[in-house]
Amino acid sequence: MSLDRIDMPLLKKISETSGAPGFEKNVRKLLIEELKDIVDDYYVDNMGNLITIKKSNTANAKKFMFAAHMDEIGFMVKYIDDNGYIRFQTLGGFDPKTLTSLRVKVHGKKDLLGVMGCKPIHSMSAAERQKVVTNEEYFIDCGLSKEEIEKHVKIGDSITRWQEVEMIGDLINGKSLDDRVCVYALVEVMKALKNQDVPVDVYGVFTVQEEVGLRGAQVAGHGVSPDFGIALDVTVANDIPGLSPQDYVTQMGKGTSIKHFDGGTICDRRMVEYLETVAEKNEITNQPEVLPFGGTDTANIQRMPKNGSIAGALSIPMRYLHQTTEMAHPTDVVAMIDLCVKAVTEIDRIVIND
């Protein structure tokens, strides 16, 4: 079973560690500890991206970059009222209806648990009950007075959702699996490559601030300037009631998806066809992905190198994306890891002048 190949304690630790956009320090520290004795070299750039490197023994080796973003959608403290309620700035895209009664952690001098509150339905007018509560109408209740809050929290501190990773049936369930499940996958890829002779220098890059505009990948794509690049992210699994099959982007349990298109990138056909060929040859479960909206780090991996890069993306199908709880299938996670490893070891097969 695919779950047997997943290090659940590590995935749990990566998912539950805080790291809102611009506040990725804790998860970056965790990843350095996990990989510092695995990779040949690593560094943190001025933007905060963690770049880990597996070197090739081939002279003048080309560069192959993987990117998975460390940040998670979150919030920033912007006001504390006289009763201790916290108002916030969102960091990343939220569906407001998913925030009601959400449990959060406010990261100040010490972490404070809080609950996302709004006007109760009993106090709403008939008209108010018909509309979705906006982000601006929510507040965070930590159960403390203003004086107690301000002993630990100040304007500008980060806030993240709080929830533990659990198995629900056959599926992995938790907060911030976007993109922590792919961060986990990239860690496993770098571990798998440790004792392999690879034909390229492999850059395992953990980027920052993806959720607020792919900002870390812009710097990392320019700095690493890879010849080949693959972004690792999640995508929409539409195999739920209320949607027709023609509206599906991907389905859970059908393997990692090979991206063709999203709102920010037309993936290089050479990379798409190469990944399809490698997956078929190695019997790795996969599915195509055409995402009509949204974007990933692929865009900046493709465009920021001086001459561009031959870039594509692999995705893990996910239910309830950017909602309170996200779900992923172990089969899809394992397929992503396997395809990444094989893609690196066979990359010299790719046609680059077609």
Helix then strand then coil, in percent of the chain rounded to 5, is: 30, 30, 40
CA angle 127, 131, 135 (to 5 degrees): 130
CB-CB contact of 76 with 91 (8 Å): yes
CA atoms within 13 Å, Cβ hemisphere of 9: 1
Question: What H or E segment, with its residue span, contains residue 300?
Answer: helix 298-303
CB-CB contact of 292 with 263 (8 Å): yes
CB-CB contact of 206 with 28 (8 Å): yes
Q: Is 147 an active-site residue? A: no
Which is catalytic among the residues 210, 211, 289, 326?
A: 210
Neighbour-count burial of 195, counting CB atoms closer than 10 A to its CB (0-12 exposed, 13-18 middle, 19+ buried): exposed
Pairwise CA distance, residues 309 & 306, whole Å? 9
144-182 CB burial, b ≥16 within 10 A, e <16: beeeebeebbeeebbbbbbbebeeeeebbbbbbbbbbbb
CB-CB contact of 339 with 284 (8 Å): yes
| Nearest alpha-carbon partner for 97 in 115, 77, 125, 118 | 118
* 3-state DSSP assignment of residue 232: strand
Q: What is the largest CA-CA distance in the chain?
A: 72
- Pairing type for strands 256-262 and 286-290 reads parallel
| Nearest alpha-carbon partner for 91 in 30, 141, 161 | 161
Please list the active-site residues.
210
